[in-house]
């Protein structure tokens, strides 16, 4: 009996060693890994490990669909949101800063109370033609003294004397030492004569078309120069381009003065330089008719 029992034990032991895992018996193999229990409280779209895809998140082919990254911007968040209304505080009134004082003199535009226009380019003679309506006021551009006046329109097309081309005019010597002339006047104001002091803005005459402006629109011939004898009429008609000063006096700085430019030019050219442009008369004489030869009529002869 003992021998039979020993044989049975040996046979059972051999069968246990040869049996595959899962068969009852004694085995020396390590236990098989078991699947982790899913966490029902976790996000159903995230695997328990946090790295894999959800078992249900599969495409038509069964492959996993990638989830958006944590730092990816949701397009819906880019929609403009209604901002709350903001009430801006009222600021202080703007501070008006006066233009810099460029000289001790104050100027005014030489035409008052009318719409004007004038070219801003060099002409044959340094002067400005200020287009304005006939009868507009010509005023003193600065405080000064009347230097010359001409109340008669002596210009004619047949003589075209240079001294007469500006027609009726008034010139003053300003407190700045500069001579200012207004020509082509329609009239000279009563009481305006040489030696009379005037103030800036004071009426000197009215705009017209006298002189060689006859037949053109009314305008003011405005010129800047220095004081000389009336014999040097080409200096009186203008030596310095005036439009930059006109611009300043109208809309910019009323203290911009031509004093420095005039003094510099006079020092360079001398007090009485020779005339260089439009110096001789250009009379507009009508051509004398050419005489036609006298025709003697053919006598009528009667043959009979």
pLDDT at 123 over 50: yes
Report the pLDDT value the prediction gives residue 10, as an integer from 0 to 100. Answer: 45
CB 167 within 8 A of CB 211: yes
Other CB atoms within 10 A of residue 153 CB: 19
| Distance in angstroms (rounded) separating the CA atoms of residues 238 and 164 | 14
Whole-number mean pLDDT of the chain?
80
More confident: 78 or 109: 109
- For Cα atoms 262, 264, 265, give the angle at the middle one, nearest 5 degrees: 65
Taking every pair of Cα atoms in the chain, the longest distance, rounded to a whole number of angstroms, is 207
- Token pair of 272 as six digits: 């009485």
Determine the average pLDDT of the residues in 113-118. 96
Determine the average pLDDT of the residues in 194-201. 98
Question: Model confidence over 136-156: pLDDT tens digits?
Answer: 999 999 999 999 999 999 999
pLDDT at 252 over 90: no
Determine the average pLDDT of the residues in 276-292. 69
Determine the average pLDDT of the residues in 99-117. 94
Predicted TM-score of the model (pTM): 0.64
Determine the average pLDDT of the residues in 47-54. 46
Report the pLDDT value the prediction gives residue 89, as an integer from 0 to 100. Answer: 81
Report the pLDDT value the prediction gives residue 143, as an integer from 0 to 100. Answer: 98
pLDDT at 49 over 90: no
| DSSP code per residue over 37-70 | PP-TTS-TTB-TTSSSB-TT-B-TTSPBPPPPPT
pLDDT at 31 over 70: no
């Amino acid at each position: 009996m003992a021998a039979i029992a020993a044989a049975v034990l040996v046979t059972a032991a051999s069968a246990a060693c040869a049996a595959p895992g899962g068969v009852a018996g004694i085995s020396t193999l390590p236990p098989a890994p078991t699947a982790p229990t899913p966490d029902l409280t976790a996000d159903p779209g995230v695997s328990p490990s946090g790295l894999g895809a959800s078992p249900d998140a599969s495409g038509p082919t069964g492959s996993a669909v990638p989830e958006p990254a944590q730092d990816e911007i949701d397009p819906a968040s880019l929609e403009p949101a209604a901002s709350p209304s903001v009430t801006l505080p009222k600021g202080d009134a703007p501070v008006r800063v006066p233009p810099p004082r460029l000289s001790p003199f104050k100027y005014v535009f030489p035409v008052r109370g009318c719409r004007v226009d004038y070219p801003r380019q060099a002409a044959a003679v340094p002067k400005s033609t200020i287009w304005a309506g006939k009868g507009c006021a010509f005023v003193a551009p600065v405080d000064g003294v009347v230097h010359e006046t001409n109340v008669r329109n002596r210009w004619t097309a047949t003589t075209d004397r240079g001294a007469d081309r500006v027609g009726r005019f008034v010139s003053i010597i300003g407190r700045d030492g500069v001579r200012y002339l207004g020509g082509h006047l329609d009239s000279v104001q009563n009481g305006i004569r040489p030696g009379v002091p005037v103030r800036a803005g004071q009426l000197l005459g009215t705009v017209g078309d006298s002189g060689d402006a006859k037949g053109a629109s009314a305008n003011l011939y405005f010129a800047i120069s220095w004081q000389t004898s009336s014999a040097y009429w080409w200096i009186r008609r203008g030596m310095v381009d005036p439009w930059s000063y006109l611009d300043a006096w109208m809309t910019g700085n009323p203290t911009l003065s031509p004093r420095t430019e005039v003094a510099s030019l006079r020092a360079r050219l001398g007090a009485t330089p020779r005339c260089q442009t439009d110096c001789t008369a250009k009379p507009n004489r009508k051509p004398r008719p050419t005489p036609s030869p006298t025709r003697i009529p053919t006598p009528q002869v009667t043959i009979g």
